[in-house]
Each structure stands twice: as C-alpha cells, then as structure tokens.
C-alpha cells in the first residue's frame, strides 16, 4: 500500500483484497459471499455470454477531511439496476441487499480508499450476469450479482479541464425504445467504434444525435450532456438516454442555485446559443467541453477560448464535490457514511 501514488492513479483496474457475490437460484437471492479471487467461473452457455443478459453500475466512495468514508446516492444505483433487470428480464435485486453489499465490500477494502485531497476515489462496480445455461433465446434461471472495488484517478487525464468532442451522424449509441435507458454492456460495446474513431481524430468523445431523426442531442460518449444558457441548465430528454444520477443531482443543485432547469428535446442548432457545455457522469462528475465540431456539417461550436471551464460548470462541480467529500452540509440526504 505504501507504494501507491494516490495522486497519480489512472482510471483503471487495481486488484484489491475482496469482492462480494450473491447468487439467485430457485427463485430467490442467497446470502452475501466474500471472495478474494477476481475470477468468475461460468458455464459456456450462460445467457450473459450469448444473449447479453448483463448489467452494471458505477458509484464512488470518498474519504473526507474527517477520515470518514462516504458513498454517493447508492440507493439510486440500486433502483437503476432494478430498471436494467426489468429491461432485459433478469432477477431484480432488492435495494436493501444492494446497499448491504456496497457497505460490506467497502469495509472489506477500506485500506484502498484514497486519502482526502488526493484527487482519487474508490470506484465501486456492481454487476449482474445471467448464469443459467441456455441455447434457445430465453432468460436465465440463475443470476450472479457481485461488486468489486478499485481505487481510481480522474476519468480524463486532464482532470477538470475542457476537452473537444465531435458529432458523427453515421453512428448510433442505442436504438429508439431500445436499451439506451438502461445500463447494459451492449450499449457501450456499440459505442466503441465511434469512440475510437473520435479519439484518433483528437476528440475526447462523440456527441450522439437522436437515432431516429438525427435532429436532437442525445448522449455524449458514455455520459449525459448539458448546456448552460444565461440562468438556464438545459439537458436533453429522449427515450434512448440513460438517466444519469450525476445529472439528476446537478439539476437539483442548479435549481437550488436559482437556475431554471429544462429537460427536453434539444435541437442540434441550439448548441450555438449555449454559453457553456459539458458532459456529466459518475466517472468524471463534470467534464467541461471546449468545442464541439460537427464533422458532417463542417461547423464548430466554441464554449471555451481560454482553456478554462465556464463559471457555472465550475460552481456546480465544486458544490457537488464538496457534498460528496463531506466538506459542505448534505441537505438532500445523498451521502451515506460507511461505518
């Protein structure tokens, strides 16, 4: 442990001491099991391998100035995982069992929680897999829920600094009325080609347009998008966008700051009217956008000319982080102290 440079961690996997597992068999969930192996043994005909019965979540634990470990809105992650289970016919894990597992795995790996002000956090990754062997296209009868943790640094190497993104109309992230609103691996697999193409051109992410008409803003890479215009916080609404817990939190903070919050279809042309733009999610919190290049229309929308985040993004970012670390009061009941 003494060899870990907490301030220089990547957003990657580091082996920790334990993970927690729970099996669904014979129509019910079993007890939580503690495991030190980071390997899963599954049947070669498991539905997660063939028919995509797999979902996952992501949340973070932060160590405060007082030395206490705090987890952010884990009940929302539990409910979103239930939504994913309904979307692809998997067993629903009770919220209480999810929260019990989070507390257990964090306590077991307490020594891996990065210290306060290191810029790092303990990333918590719950996942669920269809284990039952099936050859026909049907849901499994057995499931595995598990959580592992790993200390991580910032999602983007530059940290809280603006980056460039691009619009490419030849790719869709998810289909209308498909799996875009739930957190399943297939959505992310479908974004890899476009994402790598964007990276090769020097962009941090792809800002997708709606898959039906290519007229409205959708998700930005693996994150939600929002724009700031005057005193308004504007974020897209569609039936192919994952409901981000971070975005939900930022909307509440914006309202408490006296801003008007608009969650609605956002035409791509409206980008020209925004003062600031950003993507948001658990991994990055807020990733400000410097410029959006519409590669098909040969247009650019510039939001940062000095390489710095806009004032509203910075205020929202600092406010949310202060609540997560326990530096400011939590009037919303978002934070749970792990004791």
Which active-site residues does the annotation give? Answer: 183
Rounding to the nearest 10 degrees, give the CA dihedral for residues 194, 121, 240, 266: -90
For 90, 138, 142, 158, the CA distances from 245, given in Å and listed in that order, are 22, 31, 28, 23
CA-wise closest residue to 160 among 10, 3, 287: 287
Q: Is 300 helix (H, G, I), strand (E, B) or coil?
A: strand
| Residue from 130, 148, 121 nearest 48 by CA | 130
**Could you tell me if 316 and 307 are in contact, meaning their C-beta atoms sit under 8 angstroms apart?**
no
Structure tokens at 281: 């999610």
In this structure, are residues 18 and 108 in contact, taking their beta carbons and an 8 Å threshold?
A: yes
């Amino acid at each position: 442990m003494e060899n870990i440079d907490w301030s220089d961690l990547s957003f990657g996997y580091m082996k920790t001491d334990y993970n927690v597992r729970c099996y669904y068999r014979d129509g019910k969930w079993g007890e939580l099991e503690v495991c030190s192996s980071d390997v899963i043994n599954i049947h070669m005909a498991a539905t997660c391998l063939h028919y995509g019965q797999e979902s996952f979540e992501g949340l973070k634990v932060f160590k405060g100035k007082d030395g206490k470990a705090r987890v952010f809105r884990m009940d929302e992650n539990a409910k979103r995982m239930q939504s994913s289970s309904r979307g692809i016919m998997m067993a629903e894990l009770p919220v209480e069992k999810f929260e019990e597992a989070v507390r257990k795995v964090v306590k077991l790996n307490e020594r891996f929680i990065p210290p306060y002000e290191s810029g790092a956090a303990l990333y918590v990754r719950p996942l669920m897999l269809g284990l039952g062997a099936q050859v026909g296209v049907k849901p499994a009868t057995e499931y595995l829920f598990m959580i592992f943790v790993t200390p991580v640094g910032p999602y983007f190497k530059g940290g809280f600094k603006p980056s460039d993104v691009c619009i490419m109309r030849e790719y869709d992230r998810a289909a209308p009325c498909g799996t875009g609103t739930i957190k399943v691996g297939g959505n992310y697999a479908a974004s890899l080609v476009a994402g790598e193409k964007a990276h090769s051109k020097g962009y941090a992410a792809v800002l997708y347009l709606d898959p039906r008409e290519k007229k409205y803003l959708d998700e930005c890479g693996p994150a939600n998008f929002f724009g700031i215009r005057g005193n308004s916080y504007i974020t897209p609404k569609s039936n192919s966008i994952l409901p981000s817990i971070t975005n939900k939190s930022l909307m509440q903070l914006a309202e408490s700051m006296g801003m008007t919050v608009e969650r609605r279809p956002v035409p791509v042309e409206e980008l020209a009217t925004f003062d600031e733009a950003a993507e948001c999610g658990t991994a990055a919190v807020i990733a400000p956008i410097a410029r959006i290049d519409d590669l098909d229309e040969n247009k650019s929308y510039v939001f940062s000319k000095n390489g710095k985040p806009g004032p509203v993004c910075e205020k929202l970012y600092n406010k949310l982080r202060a609540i997560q670390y326990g530096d400011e009061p939590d009037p919303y009941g978002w934070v749970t102290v792990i004791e």
